[in-house]
Structure 1
Amino acid sequence: MSTAPSHSTDPTDPVPPTLAEDLLLLLFDPRNGVFHGEGVPLFHVLAGAVLVDLAEQDRVEVAATPTWRGRPVTARGDVPPADALLRPTWERVARSPVDVQQLIVETGPVLRPATVDRLVERGHLRRERRKVLGLLPVTALADGGTPRRAELVAAVRATLVDGAEPDARTAALAGLISASGSLPALHREIPWSGAVHDRGRALQEADRGTAEAAEAVRRTVVAALATMVVTATAAGQAR
């Protein structure tokens, strides 16, 4: 039985949620108002989610085999995506093909604020004023009270913990989080175990996309994320 949240939380909303939005919302920790994997890991996984969305729309393709330039990503079509979250990445690729890892590094940092703004606009997150140590006012993020995050957590938990068969979107979410190394941070809601690790790895590698070309990009993206995580971890241990 497939378990998945609806693609849009509001049937009147003309802009359905991007994979990056759902991914960032899933990584939000309502207890302290921060995102799991904050910093470089979060930048990377958001960029990966945007690439997967562009592939699902047949907007990008990736070289079938590596070249001296890595695995170049190229744009398909001449019309930019309508969604403002996806458009900058497509425009970057449209200017000139670029290796998938380099594209992730380039586009990731600018995606976080834009994606947060989108989640606030939809009401899934809200900004509130708080005081640090009772003195310094700061703006913090808090849960917006919509059911969207609970739906996403339930779908990914059913897939990874209970072994339910996911739809392509849930499989992409779980695979991206697994590849990024952020899955253990969700332990309170998606209990971490060896079986969860193995299912996450399987989703990184399995053919679960709705289109062959889109699935090829997804596998390339999660493989790139996993490689970048391993490289960053090794560099950190060497210091």
Structure 2
Amino acid sequence: MSRQPDEPPVEARADSASEAHSSGPPTLPEDLLLLLFRPEQGVIAGETTLFYALAGAVLADLALQGALAAQRTRAASVDVQAVQGKAPSDEILLDAWKYLSDGPRGVQTVLPAIGPTLRQPVLDRLLARGDMRKEKRTVLTFFNTTVLREGHSGRRAGLVKDVRDVLVDGKEPTAHTAALAALIWGSGTLHQFDPEIPWNPSVIDRARRLEEGNWGAGATGEAVTRTMTAAIVNNVISATASVSARQ
């Protein structure tokens, strides 16, 4: 998949410090990146296609806030556009909202446009919140390197439990958790959570239902929001599969 000539990537903001801190609750992209972090290895799962997943999380977060509208085109693709008067207070989400304020854009175009600059500011927030930390190490007694470690907030364990409750135990999710679980599935990394979240047919079936927007009565939100989030996740799946096929 290639970016359209008239769709340049969204540039990183000059003041990264303001992006690194958020006074509000963690956003969907923050929770997604924290879940994709593998504490045992000190790495983030799905790095090669991570920006698609993070971009999808941004769009899904905007959709859940009612700040994003979507429409299907004649070619059966999905266009998204910012809802005027619904500007989010979060800086990272606001950047994407502003980018989408000029007019409808195809999701497959938006993902590679806003995704590449997301990893660092989202990671900076997790570090600032204490959800993750950096640790210096010396390799071969000569080279200093920095590795990622889990922080002491315990928030990742709570997120894993929330997703596990939905995918393993069949608990009805909140809209936030439903979108989060669907994005993990869409990123192609769900199998890497085994044994935290067992990789078995029932889990796969529940993940697919979330992908389709079947969140149950417990997940508040209009049906159109669920449909929009499902369309976003499906575009993440398509983009991720396209990259994987080229590797």
TM-score by length of structure 1 reads 0.86
**CA separation of 1:69/1:102 partners in 2, compared to 1, >3 Å: closer, same or farther?**
farther
CA contact (8 A) 1:43 1:112 kept: yes
Provide the rounded CA distance (Å) in 2 between the counterparts of 1:230 and 1:151: 29
**CA separation of 1:151/1:136 partners in 2, compared to 1, >3 Å: closer, same or farther?**
same
Q: Residue 199 of structure 2 aligns to a residue in which SS?
A: coil
Return the match for 1:31 from 10, 34, 40.
Answer: 40
Shift of 1:96: 3.4
Provide the rounded CA distance (Å) in 2 between the counterparts of 1:132 and 1:82: 42
Query: Match for residue 61 of structure 2?
Result: 53
| Alignment of structure 1 residues 1-239 onto 2, 5 Å | 14-39=23-48, 41-63=49-71, 65-67=72-74, 70-78=77-85, 80-208=87-215, 210-236=221-247
Q: Residue 89 of structure 2 aligns to a residue in which SS?
A: coil
**CA separation of 1:67/1:138 partners in 2, compared to 1, >3 Å: closer, same or farther?**
farther
Provide the rounded CA distance (Å) in 2 between the counterparts of 1:14 and 1:215: 27
Q: What code does the residue aligned with 2:89 have?
A: A
Unaligned runs of 5+ in 2: 1-21
Shift of 1:53: 0.8
CA contact (8 A) 2:137 2:144 kept: yes
Offset from partner CA, 1:29-75 (integer Å, 9 cap, x none): 11121111112x21111111111111112111111x22459422111
Aligned residues: 222
CA contact (8 A) 2:66 2:86 kept: no
Provide the rounded CA distance (Å) in 2 between the counterparts of 1:43 and 1:56: 20
CA contact (8 A) 1:56 1:211 kept: no
Q: Residue 234 of structure 2 aligns to a residue in which SS?
A: helix
Shift of 1:79: 6.1
Shift of 1:232: 2.8
Provide the rounded CA distance (Å) in 2 between the counterparts of 1:207 and 1:162: 16
Provide the rounded CA distance (Å) in 2 between the counterparts of 1:203 and 1:77: 28
Q: Residue 138 of structure 1 aligns to a residue in which SS?
A: strand
Q: Residue 149 of structure 2 aligns to a residue in which SS?
A: strand
CA contact (8 A) 2:55 2:114 kept: yes
Unaligned runs of 5+ in 1: 1-12
Provide the rounded CA distance (Å) in 2 between the counterparts of 1:78 and 1:165: 31
Provide the rounded CA distance (Å) in 1 between the counterparts of 2:173 and 2:205: 15
RMSD, aligned CA = 1.9
Query: Match for residue 9 of structure 2?
Result: none
Provide the rounded CA distance (Å) in 2 between the counterparts of 1:178 and 1:79: 28
Shift of 1:231: 2.5
